[in-house]
Structure 1
């Protein structure tokens, strides 16, 4: 008999952890495993703000998939653009642009998420994201370039606009991005004697009434006061009405001269979810506590693309799209897949958050491990300790620790590479959300497999 084929879609926290546990738990020859991943590495997303600030090198947060696996998994370099659950075929566009059809017996959908945008004039053309490694590297180059261009300019209006920076999104990503980059530019400006430090201004805005509400009122207020003490202007209950090449209009009517708009206002499930005729919860596939997709044989979903019931809270709550949940869901789903192959009962996913950590750069941080509120150096130790321990390989841990130590001793580095200088690098350019098929297109593609045409 042919061995069961397990196809895992997505090389993020959920997919990679699922593959790792399958490789450990399956007996030799028990099943064939394939991983569909557009990149050859797993990205440790929570540390991207530190890459943008130059504290960490890009290589330190990118863990090679080929280096870390046990060579029992076949890697398909590309992205899934559609799934035909009746034919049990996944349509994949490889990185060579060749479209291939991958059959499966069990499919694990963990394609992650993409940046959530709204119908705001000018946003896709003028905003920059912080969702990929390329975006973090680009943002770093772009921000430092603004200092160089402001220093070279004789136009006071242009100089002022280049020294104004706007970050949209008061969650962890936006807050850490604004904090880390503000620290970088403030330190770098000491080496630009022609520039007036008073012109440098970072703005952090969010439509929500509170900054990082998950931290709680007390710790959230501490973080807000810390940011404002560092000169970051935080505006809550405000968003972007329009984005232009050299100015940004806020929803409260303010018009700000600005050449840098960084958009981190949340994420939404991968467009692959829309290729299914399945029930969704806020755009994520509605799955059982065991992470199977009801009504679809052999289909499982987890991570950012799935609304996994949060049994620790109840009341219809679903797990938030965090790395902590994605990793643990991948672990549980691997055990459930192995149980399925061996005709054993499946177990539901149950996990309570271990806590929250927010690294604001330097010695500034706020953390809430196991419900204990912390700030300052102690919180920084907890935050960095958690991230360091979550890295999967000793090579990654060594690189990150070395980077942190070097930054602590030598200070911030504000050299830019310049290789992105002629690329627009906006929200349109990095996430490729226009490649996915509709359900009808998927069926049309896979129909040829049965007709032989």
Structure 2
């Protein structure tokens, strides 16, 4: 008896791109047309742009962790783990599950949307002593850590220790770094009022970036406006400066300054997931080189999108322009790549991805924001309304929208909360402990795993 098996579609990653693809596949494919499997360590989609508000306590962690299992029509199989290698020739994805088992998952079509990891450099002490801002666990951990510094400073009778506990350094003048510094500074500014033994003037926030401008994508005027808002709040903004070395109790800047601190937050950009390097395929600045249809040339049934893929930006006139690694592009690419997987399944022509950027929004907390929707420069309350309105509308479920709006209203009426949740254990956890970048295989190891050697 011949057994007819359905085509197997494997989606790697549950970010904006991966979830957008899976949802589209579920809506447009009948259950008999294909089996859909999703590889992700967590059964939720994280709304990354709002992580700084989780770190500052404005939003609760579960508000921006949108469950993948809420839909009653959800039929995608979830493998709880992370892809650590792909053998394109054998059409096998190697997965390390959350129980540390290594399994081979075969596919007929694969959609690679593993996202990105924090970009680091060979700076002494960086990965051992810096915090990242890329995962929900890191955001919750940083909140506990920052509040703990206030508690420890208040309990200390040593002026030097107290001063070091109350200095905070954020590296990275992009959206993530700027919003992180702005939101956490507001948290400490409000919290110190509850610590009568602490001098508020001792709290110092430093935002540094090697680039000459803050958030250059916003343009000179809005970038300067954001910088002025931060400086008005007392945040020391240093441009053209980075980290020379990092220690447990101090950080040395490249301009020679030594800042005593127990808090170094590193948000200096991202790079494509190390999974891409396991394919042995052509890359563009570390991102997988794909066609405008997001297909991998020379490999049938392989698609890639989001932060991990160099998707040609057909909306721009510049030659060889690629889409920036933003949530806006990832969400829309997910829809198009799902349609292309279905088209490939049905032997239909593929469609190129074309999308013009709708603009940028930067939420600096409170009534402060700068936004550039459709090229229109906005500041203050109106910019804040646009920023929060955009984020709110982009949340995928009504439950998530309700939670976020309730948190915003509660924070506006009742103010900040300064309770540590207990996520922080006595053993410190830093950047190297959250992203597991040493788990990935080499192309040779992938082949050995697949061949059973």
Answer yes or no: is the 8 Å Cα contact 1:83–1:276 preserved in 2.
yes
Partner of 1:141: 144
Give, in whole Å, the separation in 2 of the partners of 1:359 and 1:258: 26
- 3-state DSSP of counterpart to 1:128: coil
- Alpha-carbon separation, structure 1, partners of 2:136 and 2:75: 27
Runs of at least 5 residues in structure 2 that lack an aligned partner in the other structure: none
- 2:128 paired residue number: 125
Aligned residues: 449
Unmatched tracts of structure 1, length 5 or more = none
* 8 Å CA contact retained: 1:290, 1:348: yes
Which residue of structure 1 aligns with residue 28 of structure 2? 25
For the residues of structure 2 that align with 1:70 and 1:247, how far apart are their CA atoms? 52
Choose from 369, 382, 387 the match for 1:365: 369
- Residue from 351, 354, 357 that aligns with 1:347: 351
Shift of 1:289: 0.3
CA contact (8 A) 1:16 1:330 kept: yes
Stretches of 4+ aligned residues off by more than 4 angstroms? none
**Cα displacement (A) at 1:168:** 0.2
What CA distance in whole angstroms lies between the structure 1 residues aligned with 2:186 and 2:170?
14
SS in 1 for 2:11: strand
Aligned-partner SS, 1:434: helix
Q: Could you tell me which of 427, 432, 435 is aligned with 2:436?
A: 432
Could you say which residue in structure 2 is the equivalent of 1:10?
Answer: 13
The aligned counterpart of 1:245 is 248
Contact 1:90–1:101 under 8 Å retained in 2: yes
- 1:167 and 2:170 matched: yes
TM-score, normalised to structure 2, is 0.98
Alpha-carbon separation, structure 1, partners of 2:397 and 2:208 = 36
**1:241-287 C-alpha deviation (Å, 9 max, x unpaired):** 00011110000000011110000000111110110111100100000
2:426 equivalent to 1:422: yes
* Deviation of the 1:325 alpha carbon: 0.5
Q: CA RMSD in A?
A: 1.0
1:69/1:127 CA distance change after superposition, 3 Å: farther
CA distance in structure 1 between the aligned counterparts of 2:329 and 2:178, rounded to whole angstroms: 21
Alignment deviations for residues 147-190 of structure 1 (CA, whole Å, 9 cap, x no partner): 11001101101000011000000000000000000001001111
Task: Name 1:38's counterpart in structure 2.
Answer: 41
Q: Structure 2 matches for 1:75-224, cutoff 5 A? A: 75-224=78-227
After TM superposition, the structure 1 = structure 2 runs for residues 374-453 of structure 1, keeping only pairs within 5 Å, are 374-448=378-452
Distance 2:46 2:31 in 1: 29
Looking at structure 2, the residues matched to 68 and 402 of structure 1 have their Cα atoms a distance apart, in angstroms, of 22
Report the Cα distance in structure 1 between the residues aligned to 2:436 and 2:25, rounded to whole angstroms.
29
Distance in 2 (alpha carbons) for counterparts of 1:311 and 1:126: 41
Rate the CA distance shift 1:68–1:322 in 2: closer, same or farther, 3 A.
farther
TM-score where L is the length of structure 1:
0.98
Preserved contact between residue 301 and residue 344 of structure 2 (Cα < 8 Å) = no
Q: Measure, in 1, the Cα distance between the counterparts of 2:243 and 2:324.
A: 25
Residue deviations 1:379-433 (CA, integer Å, cap 9, x gap): 0100000000000011100000000000000001111123313131201110111
Greater displacement, 338-347 / 169-178: 338-347
Partner-residue secondary structure (3-state), 2:418: coil
Q: Is contact 1:20-1:69 (8 Å) kept?
A: no
Counterpart in the other structure of 1:269 = 272
The equivalent position to 2:239 in structure 1, one of 236, 240, 251, is: 236
For the residues of structure 1 that align with 2:416 and 2:146, how far apart are their CA atoms?
14
Aligned mates of 2:72, 2:336 — CA distance in 1: 18
What does residue 324 of structure 2 align with?
320
The separation in 1 between residues aligned to 2:187 and 2:253, in whole angstroms, is 25
